[in-house]
Amino acid sequence: MKNKSFGTKLLTFVRDNTVPIMFVLICVFCIPLSGFSFSYLLNEIITRMGRNIFLILALLIPIMSGMGLNFGMTLGAMAGEIALIFVSDWQIWGIPGVILAMILSIPISVLLGAFCGKILNMAKGREMITSYIISFFMNGIYQLIVLYMMGSIIPIKHFSVKLPRGYGIRNTVSLLNMRQCLDNLLAVRVGGVKIPVLTFLIIGVLCLFIVWFRKTKLGQDMRAVGQDMNVARDAGINVERTRIISIIISTVLAGFGMVIYLQNMGNIATYSSHSQIGMFCIAALLVGGASVDKASIGNVFLGVILFHTMFIVAPKAGAQITGDSMIGEYFRVFVSYGVITLSLIMYETKKRRQKSQMGLQLQQEQMEEAAK
């Protein structure tokens, strides 16, 4: 009897955590094959945690307000990049540069976030695909600004940033004088493993902020909107405004996250840094066991560790198995997309199952709603 209940418990646990378990298995299988030393792996993972966690945390608030995975976080990343381009043009380096870039990114992020939120309000029920297309659309505008308007209309002076033709920004902007300045300040070395204490402190502050934010009036409103928009509206919550604010917060955080990410990388790939960010952050979050409608800070940390372990070891392990290093590269890209696909499918099937269970009354309501 007791055994059986344990069995069913195990089954539900496995069903609820399919993706993380799958990833643990992949990692356990690949780590010995890759032949990396433990301290090397640990070092890499800690670096990548510092680099990525802030960005991924930016995804949590839109999930809370029921808007799904915010593919529009790319907009925040663009804002961060534009801010960093300005800062490096003005030759302000080190910690002041990082702080100035963060401050500069805020107005751009707010503007972009408001735009994104407005459009998502017009496309309720299909937020994810819309935010995904917005990220492409904005990429076009971003190119227009950075490649044609910067230097010709927007003043950009420094030769290391500007293209030789007189306008437009170079393909890569070096942040060498800013590289890892946040990570190296207060860094602690434990047996050859560098721990960027300050970066983790900033991440810790953001985690506290998110925990606190959930308890505020606005945070409660967002959860109510996420549960049921109509009920929330009847309760006197301004649904549209709440949703826009949640996207703005997410975009601003993504902008900060991008500044942290790029100061760690040490250069900006002006036209491609932001394009993959959304996908990798979302994949990492989902690997941590989050779903489209539920995500916690724990998911973020677990996701970063598992996803990036896979990311580091897959090419080497793939080369070991097949003798071709490209296989591993393609494998990790496939896994990133596959995880997102799988999570989306699981979320939709779960939603449908719940819907059918809710009985006739709700169905009738839905039919009335559809008739509207």
Give me the residues that bind other proteins (CB under 8 A), please: 119, 122-126, 128-130, 132-134, 136-137, 139-141, 143-144, 147-148, 322, 324, 326-327, 330-331, 333-334, 337-338, 340-341, 344-345, 347-349, 351-352, 367, 370
| Nearest distance, CB of residue 72 and other proteins, angstroms | 11
| Nearest distance, CB of residue 85 and other proteins, angstroms | 17
| Nearest distance, CB of residue 140 and other proteins, angstroms | 3
Residue 206: what residue type?
A: L
Strand 267-269, strand 188-190: pairing: unpaired
| Nearest alpha-carbon partner for 170 in 150, 184, 192, 187 | 150
Query: Is-contact 83 105, C-beta < 8 A?
Result: yes
Q: Which CB, 98 or 292, lies closer to other proteins?
A: 292
- Cα-flanking dihedrals φ and ψ of residue 97, to 5°? -60, -45
Cα separation, 23 vs 41, whole angstroms: 16
Cα separation, 308 vs 289, whole angstroms: 15
Q: Which CB, 1 or 122, lies closer to other proteins?
A: 122
How far from chain centre, in Å, is Cα 259? 13
Q: Which CB, 136 or 159, lies closer to other proteins?
A: 136
- Element spanning 176, H or E: none
Q: Which CB, 266 or 338, lies closer to other proteins?
A: 338
Q: Which CB, 156 or 260, lies closer to other proteins?
A: 156
Q: Which CB, 138 or 195, lies closer to other proteins?
A: 138
How far from chain centre, in Å, is Cα 165? 35
| Nearest distance, CB of residue 283 and other proteins, angstroms | 10
Cα separation, 148 vs 73, whole angstroms: 24
Cα separation, 141 vs 150, whole angstroms: 12
| Nearest distance, CB of residue 87 and other proteins, angstroms | 25
| Nearest distance, CB of residue 121 and other proteins, angstroms | 9
| Nearest distance, CB of residue 142 and other proteins, angstroms | 9
Q: Which CB, 119 or 202, lies closer to other proteins?
A: 119
